[in-house]
Chains A and B, each alone.
Chain A
Amino acid sequence: MADKSKIGKKYTFTWQVEREKIRELVEAIGDNNPNYRDPEAAQRQGYKDMVAPPTFATVPILWTGTLFQAFDDLNIELSRIMHAEQSYEYYHEIFPGDSLKGIAEVKKITEKKGKSGKLEFIEFETIYTNQHDETVVKENMLVVERS
């Protein structure tokens, strides 16, 4: 079960937003929205460049290995967890070339009795800022670990 002494632990990481990484994500999703692929189409819609889609903010914590490091520190086994909830609050757009800084925190660990044993819910909160020191997006992720 998750190591509760890690509640409040924070992880800081940085991530350079690459244009092709945005395109790769929407390609995998099968999202053909030109605002996520084509700078000129996005500019016609009033953006300064193509923008990152709504779920892009979860890529940095995964790609940097931060989330997997946190699972490791918490003694959580990957094969026992499921993603339970995910939420975002958006403040500014993410563009290619942005330099993001993420601070992820182990917010909460709660237990519940499930049908087949104990369930443990682990909540992470990540706040991203960009190179202009603007808060870009806040992300909350809830995962559940089966015992």
Chain B
Amino acid sequence: MELVFEDINIGDEVIDLLKPPITKVQLVRYAGASGDFNPLHTDDDVARAAGFDGVIAQGMLVMGIAAQAVTDWVPKRALKKFNVRFRGATRPGDIIRVLGKVKDKRVEDNKGIVVCTLEAADQNNDIKVLGSFETAFPI
């Protein structure tokens, strides 16, 4: 069913995505796919020398997961702005869940603007990413 502006209400919990555990192989894959070859993400020795318990996920992988959650809900073309702050390191084994809700809606330049907030947290409710995004719908 197509998403329409009139049916979206402030406070609606519109995003809920639960991902399988992050794996080391996934970090290697993401490094290759994105070109982020910082060894913090793929080499345990380098990560330990930097003070971590082992490799940590690329922040952009977690933002990519948040983006997956966003465009599971709205079409990509509706997405106009997307911001995140990285709050904590994500480790292999972490199970990320992305939740988001509608914070504001308004009409601007004959478009329906919807602003949402989101957070990505792990199985212990440690927040990895806090963010917001803005979408524009035809009205």
- A interface vs B, CB < 8 Å? 21, 24-31, 33, 35-36, 45-47, 51, 53-55, 58-59, 62-65, 78-80, 82-90, 93
**Which chain A residues border B19 with CB–CB below 8 Å?**
30
Partner of A24, one of B32, B58, B72: B32
**Which chain A residues border B86 with CB–CB below 8 Å?**
82-86
Contact string against A for B residues 31-69, beta-carbon threshold 8 Å, 1 for contact and 0 otherwise = 011111011100000100110000000111101110110
A82→B72 CA distance, assembly (Å): 28
Interface of chain A, helix or strand or loop or mixed?
A: mixed
Partner of B71, one of A53, A78, A80, A89: A53
Interface size class of B (residues with CB under 8 A): 35 or more
**Which chain B residues border A83 with CB–CB below 8 Å?**
58-60, 86
Asked, given contacts A53-B67, A85-B85, A93-B77, whether A30 binds B35 with beta carbons under 8 Å apart, the answer is no
A30→B19 CA distance, assembly (Å): 8
**Which chain B residues border A87 with CB–CB below 8 Å?**
81-84
Number of residue pairs spanning A and B whose beta carbons lie under 8 angstroms apart = 116
New A-B contacts (6) at CB < 8 Å, excluding given A62-B35, A79-B50, A86-B86: A29-B64, A29-B67, A36-B76, A55-B64, A79-B39, A86-B60
Asked, given contacts A25-B64, A33-B68, A83-B86, whether A62 binds B81 with beta carbons under 8 Å apart, the answer is no
**Which chain A residues border B82 with CB–CB below 8 Å?**
54, 87-88, 90
